[in-house]
């Protein structure tokens, strides 16, 4: 099948490569022509303007966008809306806000253009492992794209089948799912990313407790401003965190792919010295919490994970200073200053 792909970053380029490996035809465009030339050298058909890409695609066209959410996606969708024709399919495979999907789908529907939103998970590993895809949009358009989706998906692979799953029809077991109408794919992907935040935070907090399990060996000056460690003899452990992460991978109930990646990271850099610890959030976590509030659905773990990312960027610095100021005002408490190493 033929597919146009716009956006040749790490995921976009690997999506093209996976399709090329399986004999699909890809017409590719990127703002940077060097990325187009690279994939053209690997078998794709290069396009150097949006008009060029549209002209090189057979009708009805199918175009997959893999560009950053927000204005970059909005600009390209609006530009393509003037170039595509009734019956064409426009796919947003990035991490757009599902509410934007609903608006875009309605606008394009008036022109007869089908809009499909696909939440795509798999990251830089997707070329070999395949991509988990959560899909929203009209049924006929999704069915038309099935050869592409089947190729990009991981398939059943080596994962144990869910008991009795063979009695259930559909594509979920293959790693892709038509979740519902416009916006449904990105809604499910949004919550997926919110869960990801929570799982990552749980691993980070647990391993941090193990990291500090030798606190009893440290000399601490007595101070009325901090609670002393009551039983330092209980905290004399020097855990090998790469080994702990590795053993957890082997049959434990908290084993997961995220733990696999954690084990790799700790083995490569046990002290994580190459990382600053300032964690970005790309939006999906915030949107998940907004949806939870609108629904009245409690999500304390996911909310805390989002706020932890804010704290990592010192967004709470004023608040913590104000807490210190209030303690000084009501009790004369003077906080210890952090030692600055030279």
- Domain ranges, ordered by start, for the chain: 2-159+170-181, 190-220+229-239+276-331
For the record, the structure tokens of 221 come out as: 């000056």
For the record, the structure tokens of 188 come out as: 């499910």
What is the chain's pLDDT, residue by residue, as a tens digit (342 residues)? 999 999 999 999 999 999 999 999 999 999 999 999 999 999 999 999 999 999 999 999 999 999 999 999 999 999 999 999 999 999 999 999 999 999 999 999 999 999 999 999 998 899 999 999 999 999 999 999 999 999 999 998 888 888 888 788 899 999 999 999 999 999 999 999 999 999 999 999 999 999 999 999 987 766 666 788 889 999 999 999 999 999 999 999 999 999 999 999 999 999 999 998 988 887 899 999 999 999 999 999 999 999 999 999 988 888 888 888 888 888 888 877 654 443
The single residue listed with the structure tokens 């809009």 is: 115
CATH assignment, 190-220+229-239+276-331: 1.10.1040.10
The single residue listed with the structure tokens 């060097």 is: 34
217-232 core/surface letters (b: 16 or more CB in 10 A; e: else): eeeeeeeeeeeeeeee
Q: Cα–Cα distance between 89 and 143 in angstroms, integer?
A: 11
Residue 157: the pLDDT is 82
- Spell out the long-range contacts of 150-158 with Cβ–Cβ below 8 A and sequence spacing 24 or more: 150/174, 150/176, 151/18, 151/19, 151/22, 151/24, 152/15, 152/18, 152/19, 152/126, 152/176, 154/122, 154/129, 154/130, 155/130, 157/130
Hey, which CATH number is domain 2-159+170-181, 3.40.718.10, 1.20.1560.10, 3.40.50.720, 1.10.3720.10?
Answer: 3.40.50.720
Name residues whose C-beta falls within 8 Å of residue 30's C-beta, 6 or more positions apart in sequence: 6, 7, 8, 12, 36
Q: Let me know if 150 is a catalytic residue.
A: no
The single residue listed with the structure tokens 């193990």 is: 210
Strand partners, 25: 2
Contact 334, 225 (CB under 8 A): yes
Identify the CA nearest to 28 among candidates 14, 43, 45: 45
The active-site residue out of 25, 74, 173, 196 is: 196
Identify the CA nearest to 117 among candidates 131, 144, 96, 103: 96
3-state class of 202 per DSSP? Answer: helix
Q: Let me know if 335 is a catalytic residue.
A: no
């Amino acid at each position: 099948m033929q597919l146009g792909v716009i956006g040749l970053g790490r995921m976009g380029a690997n999506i093209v490569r996976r399709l090329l490996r399986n004999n699909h035809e890809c017409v590719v465009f990127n703002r940077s022509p060097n990325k187009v030339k690279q994939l053209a050298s690997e078998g794709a058909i290069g396009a150097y303007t949006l008009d060029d890409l549209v002209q090189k695609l057979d009708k009805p066209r199918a175009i997959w966008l893999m560009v950053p959410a927000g204005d970059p996606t909005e600009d390209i969708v609006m530009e393509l809306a003037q170039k595509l024709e009734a019956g064409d399919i426009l796919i947003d495979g990035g991490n757009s806000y599902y509410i934007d999907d609903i608006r875009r789908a309605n606008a394009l529907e008036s022109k007869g253009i089908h809009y499909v939103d696909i939440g795509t998970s798999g990251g830089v590993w997707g070329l070999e492992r395949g991509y988990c895809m959560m899909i929203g949009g009209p049924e006929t358009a999704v069915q038309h794209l099935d050869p592409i989706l089947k190729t990009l998906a991981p398939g059943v692979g080596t994962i144990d089948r869910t008991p009795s799953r063979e009695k259930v029809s559909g594509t979920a077991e293959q790693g892709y799912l038509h979740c519902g109408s416009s916006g449904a794919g990105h809604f499910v992907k949004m919550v997926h990313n919110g869960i990801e935040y929570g799982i990552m935070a749980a691993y980070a907090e647990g391993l941090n407790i193990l990291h500090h399990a030798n606190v009893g060996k440290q000399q601490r000056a007595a101070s009325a401003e901090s609670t002393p460690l009551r039983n330092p003899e209980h905290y004399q452990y020097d855990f090998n965190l790469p080994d702990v992460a590795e053993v957890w991978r082997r049959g434990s109930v908290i084993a997961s792919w995220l733990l696999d990646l954690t084990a790799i990271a700790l083995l490569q850099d046990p002290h994580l010295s190459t990382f600053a610890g300032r964690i970005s959030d790309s939006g999906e976590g915030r949107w998940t919490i907004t949806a939870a509030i609108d629904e009245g659905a409690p999500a304390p773990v996911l909310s805390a994970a989002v706020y932890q990312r804010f704290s990592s960027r010192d967004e709470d610095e004023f608040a913590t200073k104000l807490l210190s100021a209030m303690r000084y005002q009501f009790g004369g408490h003077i906080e210890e200053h952090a030692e600055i190493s030279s």
